Amino acid sequence: MLKLHFAPNSRAGRIVWLLEELGLEYDLNAMAFHPKDLKSDEHRKRHPLGRIPVLEDGDVSIFESGAIVEYVMARYGDGGLKPAVDAPEFPEYLQWFHYCEGMVMPPINTIMVHSVLLPPERRDQTALEQAQRLLGRAVAPVNEALAGREYLVGAFTAADIMLGHSIFMANRLGQVADEMGNVKEYIGHIEARPAFQKAINL
């Protein structure tokens, strides 16, 4: 059985969401988002930097949320949650699948560091404001792409699991402007999915 090493409020939520959408059975090793768990010798054997998620599948151990999503879909997805390779929307699916880590998560990480994780005396307001501006610019093309669509490429796909999770986190941090109406509606569609509710409430 698949085993997921998980901590709340992290990219590991994407993997729970995916597993729930696919109806797969899995064991969950719930860990605290704290060095005592993540930086332990035991967990460093799973991930050299002591991070999550990590997925174990028999003798296979794999980290990086995007790689895990692609692995699970290739092994267990039965062709679901992504367009066919020859479908017109396949290139756009790939674009948004990878856009989250390339464009959206870097400023979110900086915002988290300088507004939540660091003690107040170590926070850098300039770095925070720069990251907020970058995130706003990164979300704008997503808002345009969602015009007239419920999900990123029309039907719900794994691109929504990857980028949608990031957009949800950005909104929870108060970083999605009200004028991003398409994105706000998109977040509502995501939040209504039972599999997402299971993942986000763990």
Helix (H) or strand (E) holding 26: strand 26-30
Let me know: does 11 contact 52? Beta carbons within 8 Å.
yes
Domain finish residue from 76, 106, 131: 76
Task: Establish if 201 belongs to a structural domain.
Answer: no
* Residues 98, 183 within the same domain: yes
Residue identified by tokens 């398409």 is 182
Tell me, yes or no, whether 149 and 182 share the same domain. yes
Kindly state whether residues 136 and 96 are assigned to the same domain: yes
In a shared domain, residues 133 and 179: yes
Asked whether residue 10 is assigned to any structural domain, the reply reads yes
Question: Does residue 114 fall inside a structural domain?
Answer: yes
Q: Is 60 within the bounds of a domain?
A: yes
pLDDT tier, 34 (very low <50, low <70, confident <90, very high otherwise): confident
pLDDT above 90 for 99: yes
Same domain, 45 and 95: no
Q: Same domain for 115 and 177?
A: yes
* Other Cβ atoms within 10 Å of 21 Cβ, number: 21
Q: How many domains does the chain have?
A: 2
| Domain match, 67 and 120 both | no
pLDDT at 74 > cutoff 90: yes
pLDDT tens digit sequence for 111-151:
999 999 899 999 999 999 999 999 999 999 999 999 999 99
* Average pLDDT score, the chain: 96
**pLDDT one-digit tens code per residue, 171-181:** 999 999 999 99
CATH code: domain of residue 97? 1.20.1050.10
Q: Given a cut of 90, is residue 193 above it in pLDDT?
A: yes
Residue 15 maps to which CATH number?
A: 3.40.30.10
The domain in which residue 116 lies consists of: 90-193
User: 49 in a domain, yes or no?
Assistant: yes
Asked, for residue 21, whether it belongs to a domain, the answer is yes
